């Protein structure tokens, strides 16, 4: 029970850490003038708003499909790390938070399913 709760806490911290780091990256860091900030916000942050309610309430189904959403952020962060020369903190945080959410959410789904199965018998 405690393990499931700690996995949920890790996934919550990772989810909101990713959201905050993306907001800081988009709003504070320098970008090209050809692409507006509003478009960056729509592309980067809006997809995280869809699973937010289910993640907050600890829904296992939402954790499962939100972990697949994190694959996009992992790939984006690795691509940015590979192609950047200057500031690597924002993509590094993106990779760390999205990877930790991916792992914690998958483990949370498995552990809560085992706990639910154990309580039914």
- 85-107 tens-digit pLDDT: 777 899 999 999 999 999 999 99
1 secondary structure, DSSP code: -
Q: How far apart are CA 26 and CA 61, in angstroms?
A: 29
For 29, other C-beta atoms within 10 Å of its C-beta total 12
Whether the pTM exceeds 0.75: the reply is yes
Task: Encode pLDDT of 56-67 as tens digits.
Answer: 999 999 999 999
Neighbours of 40 (CB within 10 A): 17
Q: How many domains does the chain have?
A: 1
pLDDT in tens, 6-60: 999 999 999 999 999 999 988 988 776 777 888 888 999 999 999 999 999 999 9
Of residues 96, 107, 103, the one with CA closest to residue 73:
96
Length of the chain: 121
Task: Quote the CA–CA distance of 16 and 30 in Å, as a whole number.
Answer: 22
Residue 9: domain span: 2-120
The DSSP letter of residue 32 is -
* CA separation, residue 4 to residues 1, 24, 36 (Å): 5, 30, 41
């Amino acid at each position: 029970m405690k393990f499931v709760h700690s996995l949920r806490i890790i996934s919550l911290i990772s989810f909101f850490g990713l959201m905050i780091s993306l907001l800081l990256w988009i709003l504070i860091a320098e970008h090209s003038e050809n692409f507006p900030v509003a478009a960056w916000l729509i592309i980067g942050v809006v997809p995280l708003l869809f699973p937010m309610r289910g993640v907050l309430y600890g829904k296992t189904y939402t954790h499962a499909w939100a972990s697949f959403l994190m694959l996009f952020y992992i790939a984006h962060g690795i691509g940015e790390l590979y192609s950047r020369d200057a500031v690597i903190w924002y993509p590094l945080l993106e990779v760390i938070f999205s990877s930790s959410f991916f792992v914690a959410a998958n483990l949370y789904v498995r552990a809560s399913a085992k706990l639910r199965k154990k309580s039914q018998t």
